[in-house]
């Protein structure tokens, strides 16, 4: 008999604000406080110039498009999104911040239409309209039965997980955290006296240990745990070594899934010790159509992440990414060519992690999984800007976790290669190592056969 599994759908940023908010039945007052555009309707006009007219008012299902068909077909046990907007009537933006997002509370039915279970709010736009706007956001979401993680009226509330019942006394716990590396203002941190979000002080080992300890105090036997983290830059394929190390520490401490987000396009996926780490699935819903720049990352391609988790261990049993394409502020099926491009690109940029996908029935199915041992590709240090060292025999990677950031040497732990050393910064390797250029260098100069550029 097949062991029980739970399917979780994870998405990147859901930004139902500004232009999206304007096409829905209850738009906010369109005035913006941005340096370049002053009217939210201009984002709608840009999208229409790029791809054609958008009927208005659009139904609440419109921004999701084909994503709703896929969600209905797969019927996941939980649907977790990073909601990157406030939901408020408050018209007073946070001072000193250039970009402010809000959606009118009357349009919250847009989220209900997708039957979202949990909105992670620990991000750099949840408090764009102040603490009053955040409190209204919390109230609006809870009024329609959507769980909230990473924000609250107090620090304790912001740190509490959203809980999704899975049946038979089983639970999914979703903890959400926001890192200043993604632009989260540190002054947005919740305290015992004021509302705010759960802001990560750093991506340090100590911060990871504190989170693990907090999770252990809350977790019950049989619970599955997701750590949803808003971190990193918006553009670029490379994953920062500190993010890799931080994610690994969380998995080592018992987290079953690390759900990273912030990037506007898909970033690598890693399977570490049998657990899923998503470094960034890319935006799912936004109003960026018609805005030029960074086209090489194909930000118009979106993904729904469907992870099958073992009910008994939390280990990843299956993974599929469903590619979609944003057009006219809704989501369409990605073409076969776009599906192939995304599969090839993710394989290329995730080479240090060893994860590859095959296109099967319109989805990217995890094809190759690293051996289930911690030493295999344990860290990805120095992969972005410099060279990363790869032992052909044991696949050890030079990394800050095993090598201080300096001129010290690190030995491969494979017994037949222990005499060989690798300097991370600029040193040549021995016959046991391949030295490969960092991802940033390859993005600029390497031809990638079979990829559409």
Q: Which residue has the higher pLDDT, 169 or 330?
A: 330
DSSP state of 285: B
CA 151 – CA 136 distance, rounded (Å)? 12
What b-and-e string marks burial along 28-64, b requiring 16 or more CB atoms within 10 Å of the CB?
A: bebebeeeeeeebbbbbebbbeebeebeeebebebbb
Same domain, 345 and 399: no
306 and 11 Cβ atoms separated by less than 8 Å: no
379 confidence band (pLDDT: 50, 70, 90) = very low
349 and 444 belong to one structural domain: no
* Final residue of a structural domain among 338, 368, 398: 368
> 3-state SS of 241-284?
HHHHHHHHHHHHCCCCEEEEECCCCCCCEEEECCEEEECCCCCC
**Residue 400: pLDDT over 80:** no
Q: Tokens 């990871």 — which residue?
A: 208
Q: Is the pLDDT of residue 407 over 70?
A: no
> Do residues 320 and 181 both lie within one domain?
yes
Tokens found for residue 449 = 């056969």
- Which of 19-23, 33-37, 325-329, 432-436 is predicted with the least confidence, judged by mean pLDDT? 432-436
pLDDT digits (tens, 9 = 90+) for 442-452: 334 433 322 22
> Same structural domain for residues 154 and 283?
yes
The string of pLDDT tens digits covering residues 222-277 is 999 999 999 999 999 999 999 999 999 999 999 999 999 999 999 999 999 999 99
Between β-strands 275-278 and 269-272, what pairing exists: parallel, antiparallel or unpaired? antiparallel
Same-domain pairing of 148 and 296? yes
Query: Considering 325, 340, 368, which residue would you say is the last residue of a domain?
Result: 368
Torsion angle of the four alpha carbons 312, 316, 317, 321, in this order, in degrees rounded to the nearest 10: 140
- Of 368, 394, 411, the domain-final residue: 368
Tally of domains within the chain:
2
CATH code of the domain containing 95? 3.60.21.10
**DSSP one-letter code for 303:** E
Instruction: Identify whether residues 288 and 434 lie together within a single domain.
Output: no
* Residue 40 sits in the same domain as residue 98: yes
Find the domain containing 11 and state its range.
5-368
My answer on whether 355 and 383 are in the same domain is: no
Mean pLDDT of the chain: 85
Tell me if 10 sits within 8 A of 259, measured CB to CB.
yes
Burial of 96 (0-12, 13-18, 19+ CB in 10 A): exposed
Residues 379 and 354 placed together within one structural domain of the fold: no
Return d(Cα 170, Cα 219) in angstroms, integer: 11
DSSP H or E stretch at residue 78: strand 78-83
3-state secondary structure 316-385: EEEEEEEEEEEECCEEEECCHHHHHHHHHHHHHHCHHHCCEEEEECCEEEEEECCCCCCCCCCCCCCCCC
**What pLDDT score does 169 carry?**
87
Half-sphere exposure of 336 (CA within 13 A, CB side): 2
- The residues, any chain, with a CB within 8 Å of residue 139's CB and separated by 6 or more, are none
Residues 202-213 pLDDT 10s: 999 999 999 999
Does residue 438 carry a pLDDT above 50? Answer: no
Q: Residue 371: what pLDDT?
A: 47
- Asked whether residue 291 falls in the same domain as residue 412, the answer is no
Taking 80 as the threshold, does the pLDDT of residue 385 lie above it?
A: no
At 308 the three-state DSSP class reads: strand
- For residue 427, pLDDT over 70 is answered with no
End-to-end CA distance of the chain: 46
Give tens-digit pLDDT for 152-187: 999 999 999 999 999 888 999 999 999 999 999 999
Comparing CA positions, the residue from 40, 49, 78, 80 lying closest to residue 291 is: 49
User: Per residue in 67-100, pLDDT tens?
Assistant: 999 999 999 999 999 999 999 999 999 999 999 9
Residue 395 vs residue 311, higher pLDDT:
311
User: Minimum mean pLDDT among 29-33, 34-38, 364-368, 374-378: which range?
Assistant: 374-378
pLDDT of residue 168: 85
pLDDT band at 369 (very low <50, low <70, confident <90, very high): low
Same domain, 410 and 340: no
pLDDT digits over 244-256, tens only?
Answer: 999 999 999 999 9
For 362: left if phi > 0, alpha if psi spans -120 to 50, otherwise beta; the answer is: left
Closest Cα to residue 20, out of 51, 54, 49? Answer: 54
Q: Is the same domain home to 173 and 76?
A: yes
Residue 188 pLDDT greater than 50, yes or no: yes
Q: How far apart are CA 15 and CA 288, in angstroms?
A: 10
pLDDT at 370: 52
Max mean pLDDT range (333-337, 393-397, 426-430): 333-337
- Residue 368 clears pLDDT 70, i.e. is over it: no
Q: Residue 167: what pLDDT?
A: 87
């Amino acid at each position: 008999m097949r062991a029980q599994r739970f399917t979780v759908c994870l998405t990147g940023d859901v930004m139902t604000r500004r232009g999206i908010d304007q096409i829905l039945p209850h738009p906010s007052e369109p005035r913006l406080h941005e340096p370049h555009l002053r009217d939210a309707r201009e984002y709608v006009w840009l999208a229409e110039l790029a791809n054609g007219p958008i009927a208005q008012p659009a139904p609440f299902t419109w921004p999701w498009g084909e994503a709703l068909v896929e969600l209905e077909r797969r019927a996941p046990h939980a649907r977790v999104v990073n909601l990157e907007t406030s939901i408020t009537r408050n018209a007073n933006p946070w001072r000193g911040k250039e970009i402010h997002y809000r959606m009118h509370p009357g349009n919250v039915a847009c989220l209900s239409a997708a039957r979202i279970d949990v909105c992670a709010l620990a991000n750099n736009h949840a408090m764009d309209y102040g603490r009053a706007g955040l409190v209204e956001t919390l109230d609006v979401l809870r009024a329609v039965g959507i769980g909230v993680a990473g924000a609250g009226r107090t620090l304790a509330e912001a740190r509490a997980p959203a809980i999704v019942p899975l049946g038979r006394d089983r639970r999914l716990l979703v903890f959400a955290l926001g890192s200043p590396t993604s632009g989260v203002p540190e002054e947005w941190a919740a305290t015992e006296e004021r509302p705010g979000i759960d802001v990560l002080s750093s991506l340090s080992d100590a911060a990871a240990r504190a989170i693990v300890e907090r999770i252990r105090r809350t977790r019950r036997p049989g619970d599955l745990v997701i750590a949803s983290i808003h971190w990193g830059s918006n553009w670029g394929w490379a994953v920062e070594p500190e993010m890799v190390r931080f994610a690994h520490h969380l998995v080592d401490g018992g987290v079953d899934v690390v759900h990273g987000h912030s990037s506007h396009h898909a970033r690598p996926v890693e399977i570490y010790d049998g657990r899923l780490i998503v470094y960034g699935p890319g935006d799912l819903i936004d109003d960026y159509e018609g805005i030029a720049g960074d086209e090489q990352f194909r930000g118009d391609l979106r993904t729904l992440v469907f992870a099958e988790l073992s009910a008994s261990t939390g280990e990843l049993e299956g993974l599929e990414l469903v590619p979609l394409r944003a057009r006219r502020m809704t989501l369409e099926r990605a073409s076969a060519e776009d599906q192939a491009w995304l599969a090839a690109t993710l394989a290329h940029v995730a080479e240090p992690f060893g994860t590859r996908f095959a296109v099967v029935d319109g989805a990217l199915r995890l094809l190759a999984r690293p051996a289930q041992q911690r030493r295999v590709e344990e860290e990805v240090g120095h992969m972005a800007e410099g060279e990363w060292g790869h032992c052909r025999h044991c696949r050890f990677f030079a990394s800050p976790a095993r090598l201080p950031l300096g001129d010290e040497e690190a030995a491969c732990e494979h017994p037949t290669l222990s005499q060989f050393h690798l300097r991370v910064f600029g040193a040549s390797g021995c016959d046991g190592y391949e030295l490969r250029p960092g991802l940033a260098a390859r993005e600029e100069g390497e031809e990638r056969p079979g990829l559409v550029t």
